[in-house]
Chain A
Amino acid sequence: MKTVDIVERIEGEARLNCTWENGFVKDTQIDFLNFRGFEYILEGKPALDALVYTPRICGICGQAHLKATVEALENIYKSLNEELVITNKAKILREIGLNIEIIDSHIKWFYMFILPDVIKLKENDLKEYSPLKGKRWLEACKTASETIKALAIIGGQWPHTSYMIPGGVVSDPTLLDLTSMMNYLDLAINFFEDSIAGVSFDKYLSFNSVDDLNILNEDLKYFTNLSFEYSLQKYGTSYDRHLALSDSSISKRGKIRQRLTDKLDLNKIKENCDRTFKVEEDSKNKEKHTWSKAVTYNSMFYETGPFSRAMVSHREFIYELHKSYKDSVFTRVMARVDEIAHLLHSTKELIKQVDISEESYIKPKISLKDIPKANAKSVVEACRGSLYHNVSIEKGIITKYDVITPTVWNLGPAIKDEKGVAQKAIIGSPSLDIAKIVLRSFDVCSVCTTH
């Protein structure tokens, strides 16, 4: 039996095709049918304009794209031995902005994109978790919106600010600004304590064993109970290989195949288009079914995202959950929610470290327009995992811009007989509902996947 299902309530739309055998998913294919051509748009544009364009690849993770662009442009200076001086203050303000956006995204994802589906396995009436109306849904939305104000203080607005520029950041916050930012984060910490985990923040941050699941209350307890009732700790396993291309304030770069290593070589990243539609051809080719490319590291598929970051950085609680429940839906969801707490903690610390007497911005001595030809890459840990930008410029004009988003790592198609990460995870699901939850556990963003 074959089924095709349109998946909404993700960032964009996807199509999930499943073949069934004895009531289980035997094979699957994920189609992303929408393409906006950002890499084409960027070609021929002045290099600095990329700071305006790339955040608009995605309405929810634009700051990650901004940071990737600004660092790629700064790496151009580095490649010419003209490395720019970026003050510690500017570096921290960038990290803070990125972190806040990830917190916003994770909160929305848990309450808007995955929890409703998990509850639906059991109850038809979502009650306080009902979209747009339920009390908890509204509280979560409010928390996300209050949190993002902290970013608006340094960015001017969210979504879509371009407050990071080569040389630093545009804003120069006061001590009161920093204090307000901490206040907004405290609101989110309160929500985490009262509604998400139901335990004190410090207690949660000290979690380090599977038994700590028993201490949880509120929504994580609810989620945990539902997960075990519907075996979400068994479904959704994939290669269990993990990749984090960049450091972040809460995690380290590295990869785990069988062993952990921090040796990474960006040249080993390869995109594959065997199953990907092409702009240049009107393909009737049956092999091609999606706008998403596939991507591998050293010819192998890797998962990326909060779960992989936690694994690579050996974050106790998630590491222990993984020992018992592998790379299942349950572990993956817990890792994303767990990251909210660690990010809130670390971001508050970062705010305290800002030295307002430092410069925010030091003007580059050389204009990109005066550089005959150059190329550089950058990597950033975004909400959904590792983001890679690769830009080539000539006299200040972009000649090529390549973006590999986290969702391409997770949701891209198969290469030959080797299944993509999410594809492999979905196989074996006992129902369409579970198959969709497995897919969602990767935090699907179709706009990023195809960009």
Chain B
Amino acid sequence: MKSHKPTIVWYQAVTCNGNTHSLLSASSSRLELFLNSFDLIYHPSLTIDTTLDDILKLKDIDFLLVEGAITSDEKYYSINQNSTKNILEKLSQKAKYIISVGSCASYGGVHKKFEQNDDILGVEEIIDTKKYKNLKHEIVNLTGCPVHPEWILQTVFSLNSFSRMSLDDEKRPRELYSNLAHHGCTRNEYFEWKVEGDFGQKEGCLFYDQGCRGPMTHSSCNKILWNDVSSKTRAGMPCIGCTEKDFPRENMLETKKNIGIPLDVPLGIPKRAYLSITGVAKTFKIDRLNKKLMD
């Protein structure tokens, strides 16, 4: 694979760099293949000989990966003595594919909560794709705070091979975001039989008290494991729904309830159906599920 490699530019705007560190924590053989298959010509914290100015002089970029929210407010944020919005627009002119890496780039994320700066947006809200001649595809949103590194790799590889991806209403790749975080969680059986969990336990489901958003959150966190080893809900931390537009919500570590019943029920399930099933499931006291997994 010595011929021309597609170029990637990683542009950082208003961010904590979490997606960069997520990428660096990818499965290392996959990351190496990625770095070998593409030419990552610019990343502000990794590459050494190219400056953003050099990149701005280029004619084309194959993949523009954006990390972080975008603002035009130079009082709060400037890169290279320019606003993050101006630079994004310039880079976007050159790109064949634009990928928003993480919830901040996708819709503002955590940074949008800084209300003193009322001009914090996601990439998609700024770039009118019709005006950008070079673009071959809609903007792809890889939501998540941070995004799973394997989702980045699969998306870039896939666009490079097939030039297309099927996206959902939020412009996220269907293949990565049709599942719910709940799918594949090791606590599923407890969910089924309504066995409530608590922090610090291997047993029980975190839906009833700890605020788990697994059943309402589109992601493949329990399908493609994190750092190759686990996921939040497997370890015992509730899903906080970081791939959805309403992240960060309020009271993320507790379940909102109405007369003891979770206010939000699993996605697409009629409340009545959910309540009936719950009622039935609760009448059985399953010994195995109420015991410790291991004594």
Given A46-B251, A146-B28, A159-B22, decide whether A152 and B227 contact each other with a Cβ distance below 8 A.
yes
Assess whether A305 is interfacial by the CB under 8 Å rule: no
Q: Does B169 contact A (CB under 8 A)?
A: no
Set B12, B19, B79, B236: member contacting A156, Cβ < 8 A: B236
Interface size for B (C-beta < 8 A) is 68
Query: Closest A-chain residue to B19, C-beta based?
Result: A59
What is the bound-complex CA distance between A195 and B227, given in angstroms?
A: 24
Query: Is residue B290 within 8 Å, beta carbon to beta carbon, of the partner chain?
Result: no
Interface contact A132-B35, CB-CB below 8 Å: yes
Contact B253 A52 (CB under 8 A): yes
Given known A-B contacts A11-B45, A37-B116, A49 and B235 have beta carbons under 8 A apart:
no
- Say whether B246 faces chain A, with CB atoms less than 8 Å apart: no
What chain A residues lie within 8 Å of B133 (beta carbons)? none
B190 to A: closest C-beta gap in Å: 14
B146 near A59 with CB under 8 A, answer: yes
Q: Which residues of A in the span 20-69 have a Cβ within 8 Å of any Cβ on B?
A: 33-38, 40-41, 45-46, 48-49, 51-53, 56-60, 62
Q: Which listed residue (B14, B25, B230, B237) contacts A162, Cβ 8 A? A: B237
Instruction: Decide if A171 is an interface residue (CB 8 Å cutoff).
Output: yes
A167 beta carbon closer than 8 Å to chain B: yes
In whole Å, how far is B178's beta carbon from the nearest beta carbon of chain A?
Answer: 20
Interfacial chain B residues near A158, Cβ < 8 Å: 21, 25, 226-227
Contact B229 A149 (CB under 8 A): yes
**B253 lies within 8 A of A11 (CB):** no
For chain A, which range describes its interface: under 10, 10 to 19, 20 to 34, or 35 or more residues?
A: 35 or more
Contacts of A52 in B (CB 8 A): 240, 248, 252-253
Partner of B227 from A8, A133, A148 at Cβ < 8 Å: A148
Contact of B16 among A59, A174, A279 (CB under 8 A): A59
Identify B230's interface contact among A13, A45, A157, A363, CB under 8 A: A157
> For residue A33, which residues in chain B have a CB less than 8 angstroms away from its CB?
77-78
Q: Is A359 an interface residue (CB 8 A)?
A: yes
**With a CB–CB cut-off of 8 A, which chain A residues contact B146?**
59, 159-160
Nearest CB of chain B from residue A164's CB, rounded to whole Å: 10
Taking the nearest CB of chain A, how far is it from the CB of B256, in angstroms? 12
Chain A residue nearest to B238 (CB atoms) is A170
> A-facing mask of B216-237, CB < 8 A → 1, else 0?
0000010000111111111111
Q: How far is the CA of A133 from the CA of B116 in the complex (A)?
A: 42
- Residue interface bits B44-65, CB-to-A below 8 A is 1, else 0: 1111100110000000000000
- A interface residue numbers (CB < 8 A to B): 6, 8-13, 33-38, 40-41, 45-46, 48-49, 51-53, 56-60, 62, 90, 108, 112-113, 116, 126, 130-133, 138, 141-142, 144-146, 148-149, 151-163, 165, 167-172, 174, 180, 277, 279, 282, 359-361, 363, 447
With A156-B233, A157-B230 given, name 19 new contacts (CB 8 A): A36-B14, A38-B114, A48-B251, A56-B110, A58-B16, A58-B17, A59-B15, A131-B47, A145-B31, A157-B221, A157-B232, A158-B21, A159-B21, A160-B242, A165-B253, A172-B200, A361-B199, A361-B201, A363-B198
Give 5 CB contacts A-B under 8 Å. A40-B114, A56-B145, A145-B27, A160-B146, A168-B200
Write the residues of chain B forming the contact surface with A, with a CB cutoff of 8 angstroms: 12, 14-22, 24-28, 31-32, 35, 40, 44-48, 51-52, 75-80, 110-111, 113-117, 145-146, 198-202, 221, 226-237, 240, 242, 248, 250-254, 294
Closest 6 CB pairs of A and B: A361-B200, A59-B18, A360-B200, A156-B235, A157-B226, A152-B227
